[in-house]
Amino acid sequence: MERLLKSRHLSGWLLASPLVVVLFFFLILPIVMITVVSFWTATEFSIVPAFSLENYEFLFGSDVTYRVFLNTAKYAAITWVFTLGIGFTIAYFLAFHIRSTGWQTALFLLCTIPFWTSNIIRMISWIPFLGRNGIANSTLMAWGVIDQPLDWLLFSDFSVILAFVHLYTLFMVVPIFNTMMRIDRSLLEAANDAGATGWQTLWNVIIPLCKPGIMIGTIFVVTMVMGDFITVRFMSGSQSANVGRLISNDIALLQYPSAAATSVVLLATVLITIAIFLRFVDIRKEL
């Protein structure tokens, strides 16, 4: 028994060893490195090993930091609301209204295919739609809704959030659909037999049972929006900032210690947020 137990641990680690190697060199070490460098100092041309708190003092002493973190949280919150609303509705339609499995699979795939294409291209593809002379403006003008082109369609918070919703709604649809498909249909019949209306069934039966899927989708969407820098940069035309852009701007200026300090704070924020979410869902049980 003793030997068996030992071999179980050993074979587990042996099988997991390539994974452990990759995660050690490309996840743990980089996090350690960033943390170390966040205490270094930088001159204009190079970075200097030291132990200094100046990066953090600067970071926490500047209003820009607070405003940018707040803006990041705002993007995450608004994107979350829209992706959840749209994602839930789409998953609900697929899971409960499509009756044949063949159609269900086909429509589900249709929703997921864009996930396997390039995010950058999908961002670029909004330009002809939202630009000053774009499709949205010319259509609205042709309909007489507006007299002159709207300026806030592209390169604004509106376009940033639109792009986030466009890119990430998938991450809500998939896990919510997955939990919905596992709901025992006889529960719905029971609710119906007990006299519940459609809305009551939705609110009191389906939504509570979908919570794990909603949480997993939330984890994906929130972390991707919080860690993003490219969508905000591209879709806001460099006019809005989030934490990721703060980091990438520092990197562009070769201010690595300062970028590292911001990264440490961002990572801590993301991990704490996820730790809170994970209290509501056991991911391993939901797979």
Question: Where in 40-79 is the site for other proteins (CB under 8 A)?
Answer: none
| Binding segment toward other proteins, per CB under 8 A, in 56-64, 108-116, 182-190, 207-215 | 108-116
- Residue located via tokens 């000053």: 132
Interface pick for other proteins out of 80, 126, 168, 171 (rule CB under 8 A): 126
Decide if 220 contacts 274 (C-beta within 8 A). Answer: no
Binding mask 243-272 for other proteins (x = CB under 8 A): -x--xx--x----x--xx--x--xx--xx-
**How far is it, in rounded angstroms, from Cα 11 to Cα 282?**
25
Measured CA to CA, the distance from residue 161 to residue 152 in angstroms comes to: 12
- State the minimum distance, in angstroms, from the CB of residue 180 to other proteins: 13
Stretch binding other proteins (CB under 8 A), from 59-67, 75-83, 124-132, 186-194: 124-132
Indicate the residue among 86 and 209 with the shorter CB distance to other proteins: 86
Q: What is the DSSP letter of 152?
A: S
Question: Could you tell me which of 242, 240, 82 has the C-alpha nearest to residue 164?
Answer: 82
**Is 237 one of the binding residues for other proteins (CB under 8 A)?**
no
- In this structure, are residues 83 and 162 in contact, taking their beta carbons and an 8 Å threshold? no
Least distance in Å: CB of 263 to other proteins?
Answer: 5
- Tokens, residue 3: 């030997």
Residues in 6-35 that interact with other proteins by CB under 8 A: 8-9, 11-16, 18-20, 22-23, 25-31, 33-34
Whether 38 and 263 have beta carbons less than 8 Å apart is answered as yes
